[in-house]
Amino acid sequence: MNNEIENQILELQKKLGKLEKGTKDQLSMVVFSGDLDKILAAMIIATGAAAYDMKVKLFFTFWAISSLRDPRKSVSGKNFISKMFGVMLPKGRNKIKLSKMNMAGMGTAMIKGLMRKHNVASLDDMFKTAGELGIEINICEMSMNLMGFKAEEMIDYPHMNICGVATFLADASESKVQLFI
């Protein structure tokens, strides 16, 4: 009788182990948009999740990669089209614009003023906090290349990797929460 119970407990422990491995207390987010409002939302959710002791992994792809460019860095050896893209796309998180009501930059300037008034942390502060909280930023290599960006022109961030869709899928399949912004 005792043996049977013991066996059942062992079986349950095994199953529990599998379950724990299956979904971690983790947030995986695809950050696709390069708009100020959407990057802001992504960073607020990400830092909030880290406060819940969740592991946070952000997968930056397409337009969002512009927000990771460091305006102080310039790279050589780009072809004409890549250079054009580089000029046309915002150089860093302080150059990105609102998705709505931008009004030739007036709306973006106004929202930044309102953020200060309402004590909303700036993107600079949020990226700093994210780094301190161990939030991982993974950059999609394919879209980075497509847009003519190079890894060398990205910001200095303590937990940054260049990777592919397989990394995102592996992270997302282990995460309790997945988002696309």
Q: Does 18 bind other proteins (CB under 8 A)?
A: no
Shortest Å, Cβ 51 to other proteins? 4
Q: Does 47 bind other proteins (CB under 8 A)?
A: yes
Task: Say if residue 6 is exposed, middle or buried (CB neighbours under 10 Å; 0-12, 13-18, 19+).
Answer: exposed
**Residue 70: in which H helix or E strand, if any?**
none
Shortest Å, Cβ 121 to other proteins? 6
**DSSP secondary structure of 96-128:** ---SS--GGGHHHHHHHHHHHHTTPPPHHHHHH
Selected binder of other proteins within 48, 113, 134, 158 (CB under 8 A): 48
Q: Is the CA virtual torsion 102, 124, 130, 34 positive or negative?
A: positive
| Contact region with other proteins (CB under 8 A), list: 16-24, 50-58, 93-101, 165-173 | 50-58
Report residue 81 as tokens. Answer: 């089209």
Shortest Å, Cβ 80 to other proteins? 43
In contact, 39 and 67? CB cutoff 8 Å: yes
Selected binder of other proteins within 4, 5, 53, 100 (CB under 8 A): 53
Q: How far is it, in rounded angstroms, from Cα 105 to Cα 147? A: 23
Query: By three-state DSSP, how is residue 133 classified?
Result: coil
Binding-residue total with other proteins (CB under 8 A): 13
> What letter would DSSP give residue 92?
S
Q: How far is it, in rounded angstroms, from Cα 35 to Cα 67? A: 9
Shortest Å, Cβ 133 to other proteins? 8
Shortest Å, Cβ 40 to other proteins? 11
- Give me the 105-144 binding string for other proteins, x by CB under 8 A, dash otherwise: -------------xxxx-------x---x-----------
Q: Does 52 bind other proteins (CB under 8 A)?
A: yes
| Contact region with other proteins (CB under 8 A), list: 31-39, 42-50, 80-88, 166-174 | 42-50
Residues found near other proteins in the complex (CB under 8 A): 44, 47-48, 50-53, 118-121, 129, 133
